[in-house]
Amino acid sequence: MDAETFEIKAYPEMWQELGMDVARFDKMRLMLGEIYGKTFLSQQNRPVRMAYFDQTIAEIHGGRIKELLAAKAAGRPVIGTFCVYIPEEVVLAAGGICVGLCGGSQGSIPDAEKILPRNICPMVKSAFGFKVGRVCPYIQVVDFVYGETTCDAKKKTWEILDTMVPTYVMEIPQMKNESDRTMWLHEVKEFKARIEELSGKEVTVDELTKAVRVMNDKRRALQRLNTLRHAKPTPISGKDVLLIEQIAFYDEPVRFAAEVNELCDELEQRITAGEAVPSKDAVRIMVAGVPMALPNWKLHHLVERAGAVIVNEESCIGTRYYKDLMAEDGQDMETILTDLTTRYMNIDCSCFTPNDERIDQVLKEFRESQADGIIHYSLQFCHTYNIEEIRIREACAREGIPYMFIESDYSPEDVGQIQTRVEAFLEQIRG
Ligand code: BJ8
């Protein structure tokens, strides 16, 4: 595959059956394919094993959708998600499938703004707009959307989204006291009952244990990838790792973990051979902050185009998704669900207060990734990340870590301005 000829495959008949706006979606498909070619396939010296992930993108609107439809036909529920708080293990144990829904595109925002206020998070608008405009096959396929009460923009949008596609909302605690843990455990049990009702299948201890192993294996593969990219020089670009972290949310988990491990084998050989991407003395940047939902590649592209390399994402599309595993030896349902509750309560989303763990985690990841500086990335109107940024900035100042804050959206309008700021930041680091 090369940058000029790459194309995302078209499945107009299937899209028609899914009730999509086929003509408009087809234009979006062509545009996405072109951007993908320029952003990813134009990179030099990519690992050979990235071919699987390129192929996954080529089939993003077809191959995976066919798999989801086949699963549904076999009675397996398909759940669309927007947050790493979904207890995926429970869905898997009932034979179901989780798919992360797109929310990283400017193209669907005008659809959302016909209904929602303009001054809310672009991720929420983008995701909502995909349903309004009927331009995402994933949201057309799902049995229900999993929503959560992490932030105000999301929780109020679910009420409106629910009129278009069934939306199940779980209450996420905002603190981590004992009472919050008890409440979250109760929420998990109710979610399990809902999944069992939908699938017609009881979630047994055996099935749940198997699902925990599947998810742990997938998370272990991503941890391995992240550890390998921390090598100096790094054997893979930040863009490619971000892409894999995004694909993690919709690919079949066993296949995905196997492919990531194959890639890791190749990266180990590259490290031994001293192969560097992009060059041995490239400035190493760690990104922290909000998730970058598909196809949000803007910041990574700008940073790496300026000659630096991104070596870590402290983000839900990043380490927050895979840093924590679960015990695999739970003997009874109550113990497993309690372990699961603990694992998910370790997620240090900025919706929590206080959230000191996240500040510590950012510093820990900075040290582990051998980065030279941190860019904190927030989306416009995301109050929790935009305010928590103050504490990250203070911590970086205390530790003498070069630091920059970027608040952006999905439009191309601030590209020039971000490019200039990134270049100045890299110069500051180079000294
Ligand atoms: S666990 S980070 S995936 S909520 S950026 S929509 S918070 S206004 S994405 Fe998130 Fe779950 Fe937390 Fe992770 Fe709201 Fe902020 Fe937008 Fe956000």
- pLDDT one-digit tens code per residue, 376-417: 999 999 999 999 999 999 999 999 999 999 999 999 999 999
Closest protein CA for atom 2 of ligand 1 = 349
Q: Any residues with Cβ below 6 Å from ligand 1, and which?
A: 83-85, 121, 123-124, 150-151, 153-154, 290-291, 316, 320, 347, 349, 351, 379, 382, 384-385
Instruction: Work out the average pLDDT over 364-379.
Output: 98
**How does pLDDT run across 348-359, given as a tens digit for each residue?**
999 999 999 999
Instruction: Look at residues 318, 359, 322 and name the one whose alpha carbon lies nearest to residue 343.
Output: 322
Q: How far is CA 198 from CA 87, 88, 94, 194, 238, in A?
A: 16, 15, 9, 6, 39
- Radius of gyration for the chain, computed over Cα atoms and rounded to the nearest angstrom: 21
- How much is the average pLDDT of 297-315? 97
45-78: b (≥16 Cβ within 10 Å) or e: ebbebbebbbebbbbbbbebbebbbebbeeebbb
Distance CA 125, CA 278 (A): 34
**CA count, 13 A, side-chain hemisphere, 416:** 1
| Residue 102 CB partners (closer than 8 Å, separation 6+) | 108, 126, 127, 130, 136, 138, 293, 294, 295
Q: Name the pLDDT band for 257 (thresholds 50, 70, 90).
A: very high
Give the pLDDT mean for 232-238: 97
- Ligand 1 pocket, mutate which of 150, 316, 362 (most atoms under 8 A from CB): 150
User: 248: CA distance to ligand 1 center in Å?
Assistant: 17
**Ligand 1 centroid to 403 CA: how many Å?**
22
> What's the CA gap between 385 and 122, in Å, rounded?
14
CA dihedral 88, 90, 96, 99 (to 10 degrees): -10
Ligand 1 atom closest to the CA of 378, numbered from 1: 5
The arithmetic mean of pLDDT across residues 341-367, rounded, is 97
* pLDDT the model gives residue 314: 98
SS3 assignment, position 354: coil
CA–centroid distance, 151 to ligand 1, in Å, is 7
Mutate to test the pocket of ligand 1, among 121, 172, 299, 407 (most ligand atoms within 8 A of CB): 121
Among 81, 82, 83, 299, name the best residue to mutate to test ligand 1's pocket (greatest count of ligand atoms within 8 A of Cβ).
Answer: 83
At 1 the pLDDT is 77
pLDDT value for 278: 85
The closest residue, in CA terms, to atom 15 on ligand 1 is 382
What integer pLDDT is reported at residue 298 of this predicted model? 96
For residue 3, name the pLDDT band (cuts at 50, 70, 90). Answer: confident
Query: What mean pLDDT value characterizes the chain?
Result: 97
**How much distance in Å is there from the Cα of 17 to the middle of ligand 1?**
32
Strand pairing partners for 375? 287, 404
Distance 83 CA to ligand 1 centre (A): 7
Kindly report, residue by residue over 35-61, the tens digit of the pLDDT.
999 999 999 999 999 999 999 999 999
Pocket test for ligand 1, best of 170, 316, 319, 324 (most atoms within 8 A of CB): 316
Q: What is the pLDDT of residue 377?
A: 98
Confidence of residue 87 (pLDDT cuts 50, 70, 90): very high
Q: Could you give the percent of the chain with pLDDT greater than 90?
A: 97
Compute the half-sphere exposure of residue 5: CA atoms within 13 Å on the CB side of its CA.
Answer: 3
State how far the alpha carbon of 294 is from the alpha carbons of 18, 37, 216, in Å. 21, 15, 23
d(CA 288, CA 369): 12
* Ligand 1: residue whose CA is nearest its atom 1: 349
Q: pLDDT (tens digit, 9 = 90+) per residue, 172-221?
A: 999 999 999 999 999 999 999 999 999 999 999 999 999 999 999 999 99
**Predicted pLDDT of residue 285:** 98
Q: How far apart are CA 394 and CA 403, in angstroms?
A: 10
| Among protein residues, the one whose CA lies closest to atom 4 of ligand 1 | 150
30 C-alpha to ligand 1 centroid (Å): 29
Q: What is the pLDDT of residue 48?
A: 97
Supply φ then ψ for residue 313, to 5 degrees. Answer: -120, 105
Neighbour count for residue 126 (Cβ, 10 Å) = 27
In one letter, which amino acid is 82? Answer: F
Inform me whether the pLDDT recorded for 28 exceeds 80: yes
Q: Tens digit of pLDDT for each residue in 261-301?
A: 999 999 999 999 999 888 899 999 999 999 999 999 999 99
Residue 346 has pLDDT above 80, yes or no: yes
